[in-house]
Amino acid sequence: MSNTVICPGSFDPVTLGHLDVITRAANMFDKVLVAVLVNSSKRPTFSIEERMELLRDATDGLDNVEIVSFEGLLAEYCKSRGVNAIVKGLRAVSDFEYEFQMAIANKRLNPELETIFLTADSDSMYLSSSMVREIGSMGGDISNFVPACVHDRIVAKLRG
Ligand code: PNS
């Protein structure tokens, strides 16, 4: 089994909760692909390129992390890159049904593909990109929610 895993998501924008999961995955596996993807049920605020750039800067110190993006199915991409595990953060019970559904669908599409859930740390339990977007766009302080090195760019976009 390949020791490369993938952390997929919308990352609209990256939060400290995402960074926590990526960092922990990077400590557990040889290589982590962070995939910035289209979630067809969401209308993004940040472009794919902006989200990738923010993630690149936020993960700058993590040598085994690569930021990628692609169109199409995650299960197919994993097949093409020989990746056999998805790593996702699980915050609260409310995440479970949605994440479980995706894990089952991905396994149906690609039986080699496992989904590994990391429990969110207590600071990130109630943190989400949508909360960051709402607070930031209304002039609130998001410095406890996003990586410091990308804070100003996120604020500028949300207030712009
Ligand atoms: O951060 P999100 O929005 O909860 O992440 C969802 C995401 C982007 C991982 C999911 O929508 C996805 O995998 N999109 C790529 C297309 C795909 O494979 N869809 C089927 C998922 S079962």
Total structural domains within the chain: 1
Confidence band of 93 (pLDDT split at 50, 70, 90): confident
Structure tokens at 90: 């699980």
- Domain residues for 9? 4-158
> Are the C-beta atoms of residues 132 and 155 closer than 8 Å to each other?
no
* Chain-centroid distance, C-alpha 107: 19
The CATH number of the domain holding residue 60 is 3.40.50.620
Which residue out of 38, 71, 102 has the highest number of ligand 1 atoms within 8 Å of its CB and is therefore the one to mutate?
102
Residue with the nearest Cα to atom 13 of ligand 1?
74
Residue with the nearest Cα to atom 10 of ligand 1?
39
Please state whether the predicted TM-score (pTM) of the whole model is above 0.95: yes
Average pLDDT over residues 138-147: 98
